[in-house]
Structure 1
Amino acid sequence: MLDIYHFSNPLSTDCLKTEERLLQLSYDLSERVHLRFIPLLDHHLVAKLTPSYLRDSTTDNNDQKSYHIAMDYKAAQVEGNKKARRFLINLQHALTSQAYSLALVTDIAETARLNVDDFLVNREATETFQAVLEDQALAKQMLSKADPCIAIDDPTAIDTQLLTNLSIDNLIATFAPHCAKSLAPDILRQHLSI
């Protein structure tokens, strides 16, 4: 099984495109894939986080917005990674033209077919907060800098591979060996040209 981690800035449209490409790649790969999206938070923010931060903060700045998105994503993950990934991508698309709000998040949770009542409880739960902190600890462990990147943990390789160049060409070069033999690089390029 190939473990793929996308450490992303949840407010970046470039990271959004990379997430969409990784979703497509996960269908094109010939081996089983465990795909994880991990919204990155500023390490200064992580140091001062408390479980009540979500309730006590507004979304006036990008750090607070990123924290809210990370909590929302982890709350959605309670219902499964596929729904959570769809939720996150839909939320990121919406945030390109709308302000972050509870109403927006609730609408997107409904669109992603989440149990909205449970989701609203989970987004403020201590367990969700702990899960966000665990993701940030994993990012700190795997990354030398808190920059968006992809980490690939391949059981046939000795070290985890880190990609900081997330261009289509680099994604093709990295993942082509893991694709089905019948999938030519030009077809893979078409799939990734979202």
Structure 2
Amino acid sequence: MLELHLFVNPLGMRCLRCEKDVLKIDRNLNTKINYQFVPLFNMKTIDNTIKYYHLNPHDLAIRQQVSRTLNQVILDYKAALFQGRKRGRHYLLLLQSALIKHGLDYNDELISKIAHNSSLDLEMFFEDRHSQLAKQAFRQDQKIASDLGVSETATAIVFNTDDSDYGLMIPNFDYDTLINAFKSGKLDHASSLNDFVSQYRPPKLRVLNNNN
């Protein structure tokens, strides 16, 4: 079985395309795949978001607003995940579509509508999105990224749970790159992310060059 962890900017169009590639892989790859989207929060993510939305990068108030919005979007996603991975991923994709593709404003009304359309328990969701548990899950994601040496979004870490030595890092992730890596046997030595996290040590990662 493959484990795929895609590090994303929840406010980025590029990562939305990557996430849809993951869903396509899940349907087409002839093996079981366990996947999750891991939101990445750092200065690069903030800078890229400002650039994507054509905002003034030198305006401190705008930078702080983008940071707060990105932070809350991630907490919302973690809160949705508490009600199941499938619902959480569905919530994230619907939210991204509303914000990125349709240009809607991020507000409580939109969040409530998307949570409802994702079959979430609204009372539980709105409580969880401000909870310490969501904040702890947020911090854990950032620690995982740091431990794995991931600083750029659209980066995938892939593990094959049948082997315990290596993981494969795929920068600039896309559908064809993973399919080719799987068919060529490059995923035959990739182990579980949970093993590395529990041992608090970085894994042996082989970086795949997409151009090869």
TM-score range, shorter chain: 0.7 to 0.9
Question: Where does structure 1 lack aligned partners over 5 or more consecutive residues?
Answer: 46-57, 179-194
2:147 alignment partner AA = Q
Structure 2 residue matching 1:34: 3-state secondary structure: strand
Change (3 A) 1:135 1:144: closer
Instruction: Choose the corresponding residue for 2:81, options 72, 77, 94.
Output: 77
Whether the 8 Å CA contact 2:2–2:34 is kept in 1: the answer is yes
Q: Name the residue aligned to 1:11.
A: 11
Identity, % of aligned pairs?
A: 27
Is the CA contact 2:95–2:114 (under 8 Å) kept in the aligned structure 1?
Answer: yes
Q: 1:177: Cα distance to partner?
A: 5.9
Q: Judge conservation of contact 1:7–1:149 (CA < 8 Å) in 2.
A: yes
In the alignment, what sits opposite 2:26?
Answer: 26
The match for 1:169 among 159, 162, 176 is 176
- Encode CA deviations 1:113-132: one digit per residue, 9 max, x unaligned: 10111100011111111011
How far apart are 1:144 and its partner, in Å? Answer: 4.4
Contact preservation (8 Å) 1:106, 1:116: yes
Please report how far the alpha carbon of residue 92 of structure 1 lies from its aligned counterpart in structure 2 after TM superposition.
Answer: 0.4
How far apart are 1:87 and its partner, in Å? 0.4
Runs of 4+ in structure 1 over 3 Å off: 175-178
TM-score, normalised on structure 1? 0.77
Which stretch shows the higher mean deviation, 85-94 or 155-164? 155-164
Residue 61 of structure 1 pairs with residue 65 of structure 2: yes
Deviation digits for residues 72-125 of structure 1 (CA, Å, limit 9, x no counterpart) = 111001110001001001000100211211111111000001011110001111
Q: 1:160 to 1:167 in 2, by over 3 A?
A: same
One of 137, 146, 152 as aligned partner of 1:140: 146
- Alpha carbons of structure 1 residues 167 and 30: separation in structure 2 relative to 1, 3 Å: closer
Q: What residue is the counterpart of 2:118 in the other structure?
A: 112
| Partner Cα distance (2:24, 2:10) in 1 | 19
Over 3 Å counting, the alpha-carbon distance change for 1:86 and 1:59 in structure 2 is: farther
In the alignment, the residues of structure 2 paired with residue 9 and residue 117 of structure 1 have an alpha-carbon distance, to the nearest angstrom, of 26
1:42-91 Cα shifts (integer Å, max 9, x gaps): 1699xxxxxxxxxxxx9963222221111011100111000100100100
Task: Indicate the residue corresponding to 2:108 in structure 1.
Answer: 102
Amino acid at match of 2:31: E
User: TM-score by structure 2 length?
Assistant: 0.71
Equivalent position of 2:136 in the other structure:
130
* Count of residues paired in the alignment: 166
Aligned ranges for residues 144-163 of structure 1 at < 5 Å?
144-157=150-163, 158-163=165-170
Q: Offset at 1:167?
A: 3.5
Give distance in 1, aligned partners of 2:181 and 2:149: 18
Give distance in 2, aligned partners of 1:174 and 1:36: 19
Q: Which has the higher contact order (CA 8 A, sep 6+)?
A: 1
Q: Decide whether the 8 Å contact of 1:139 with 1:146 is kept in 2.
A: no
Q: Tell whether the 8 Å contact from 2:78 to 2:134 is kept in structure 1 after alignment.
A: yes
Separation in structure 1 between the aligned mates of residue 22 and residue 145 of structure 2, nearest angstrom? 18
